[in-house]
Amino acid sequence: MKVKLKNFWQRKNSVAKMVFKEKSRLKAFNVNEINGIIRIRNKEFLFENGWLLIDDLPKGEYEGEIEIRESSLSQNKGIIEKDANGTKEERQKLPTPSRESEYSIKINVESNKSTFLIYGREFFSYNWNLSLKPYIYPLYGPDGQVMLNPSAKDHIHHRGIFFAYGNFNCVDFWNEEDNYRTCKQVLIKEIFEGMFSAHITTVNEWLYLPSASIQNFPKGRKSDIFVKDERQITTYSTPPENRYLDVRIKFFLDDEGKKVIMGPTKEAGPLGLRVHKQMEGKENGIITNSYGAKTEQFCWGRKAHWVDYSGKIENYRPAGFTIFDNPLNLLYPCGWHVRDYGLFAPNPLFFNNYSCVIESNNPVEFNYRIFVHSGMAEENDISLKFLDYIEGIIIEG
């Protein structure tokens, strides 16, 4: 039997196509122990503790409606507060998960940031209008360590996880030598909190201000809006050792007749990530790509389906990030702008010397997954997790 449940855990009710070759009991995707039912041809089948029992269905292909009722997750047992030398470590405390809420993931929204908490533990904060671009910082790793660099001295525009691009009609929205190019959040379009996932969707305006400072910029001057984007950041209620951020950014224009060319540039993502200083390749970090190549020398500019950046922060176990490219993206698999000094960015256009056009009837969208894991790359079956991302979950029995 083979069953494909593509991203079914993202919402409480979903539809999955199932192919049954024989009657059998199958194991479902078991990040959590899931309880619920599946309705097929007006019949209900129990989906309990991660197992699905199918009876009285002939071989064939079916559409099934999935209703998730509850999830029973194991509680985190806490953290070690002293290292081998007895020195107390400064780690984020892990509170006992609250069962009072219906949801396992909460998003606390303030005036200029949203904080994602998974069973009471802060995972990351998404900040806007605090600098020239929105960014994610802090992000807490498996042991509570902060894994990002908030603003590197060598590149002040590298803030945690960020969105930037260095060539919109030859205008640079990557670097920040002055205050004339910025990306401002103008709308929180949606906030979703669920049992298995949560996301925030925002709308942002990329502003080019050749003759005015940010502080004096009159609100609502449409002519200075260079391009817009809608972005969505999603995370899931997975264990601290294996956590995910799915990011989607869609560039678009409202004005008919206007177009913006995304040109090739080394200064690009549109997704960028700057790892903690102690995780940098010139410290103890290791860069690895999907073909097994290691170090900046053999990974920078090379096409790969994913790239991993892992290392050890003092007093903590090794941990890392993997960014997965997506087959729906332009020029997949992309080249990578990944450096020993800690920058980590997929860059599809520069390494192909390619340009694309954004118009009102032609938005351009990019999708990526960031895998936050304990241990180094070789300890995490990253290729299998990449296939889970692009193919959905396939269960065979």
Please name the residues in contact with 137: beta carbons below 8 A apart, sequence gap of 6 or more: 124, 125, 127, 148, 150, 159, 160, 161
CATH number of the structural domain 105-390: 2.70.98
Strand 319-324 relative to strand 60-72, pairing: unpaired
> Quick one: pLDDT at residue 109?
95
Distances (CA, A) of 279 to 37, 123, 282, 313, 342: 44, 19, 8, 6, 7
> Quick one: pLDDT at residue 46?
53
In one-letter notation, the amino acid at residue 15 is: V
Backbone φ and ψ for 207, nearest 5 degrees, come out as: -110, 135
- Which is nearest to 165 in space by CA: 376, 394, 345, 389? 345
> Quick one: pLDDT at residue 306?
98
Query: Is residue 305 within 8 Å of residue 325, measured between CB atoms?
Result: yes
> Quick one: pLDDT at residue 8?
36
> Quick one: pLDDT at residue 181?
82
Bridge partners of 68, per DSSP, are 36
Report the Cα–Cα distance between both ends of the chain, in Å, rounded: 5
Tokens linked to 60: 């064939």
In one-letter notation, the amino acid at residue 66 is: I
Ranges of the chain with pLDDT below 70:
1-103, 152, 154-155, 177-180, 209-223, 392-397
Residues in the chain: 397
Q: Where in the chain is the domain with CATH 2.70.98?
A: 105-390
Conformation bin of residue 24: beta by default, left when phi > 0, alpha when psi is -120 to 50: beta
Tokens 């609502």 -> residue: 220
3-state secondary structure of 385: helix
Query: Is residue 386 within 8 Å of residue 393, measured between CB atoms?
Result: no
Query: Is residue 196 within 8 Å of residue 236, measured between CB atoms?
Result: yes
3-state secondary structure 8-52: HHHCCEEEEEEEECCCCEEECCCCCEEEEEEEECCEEEEEECCEE
How many Cβ atoms from other residues are within 10 Å of residue 29's Cβ? 17
Conformation bin of residue 116: beta by default, left when phi > 0, alpha when psi is -120 to 50: beta
Q: What is the pLDDT of residues 364-388, one digit of tens each?
A: 999 999 999 999 999 999 999 999 8
Q: What is the pLDDT of residues 59-91, one digit of tens each?
A: 555 555 555 444 333 332 222 233 333 333 333
If you write DSSP's letter for every residue of 193-262 in order, what string do you get? E-SSEEEEEEEEEEEE-TTS-STTPPTT-GGGEEEEEEEEEEEE---TTEEEEEEEEEEE--STT-EEEE
Please name the residues in contact with 206: beta carbons below 8 A apart, sequence gap of 6 or more: 168, 173, 181, 182, 183, 225, 226, 227, 228, 229
> Quick one: pLDDT at residue 171?
86
What's the helix, strand, coil split of the chain in %, to 5? 10, 50, 45
Q: What is the pTM of this model?
A: 0.74
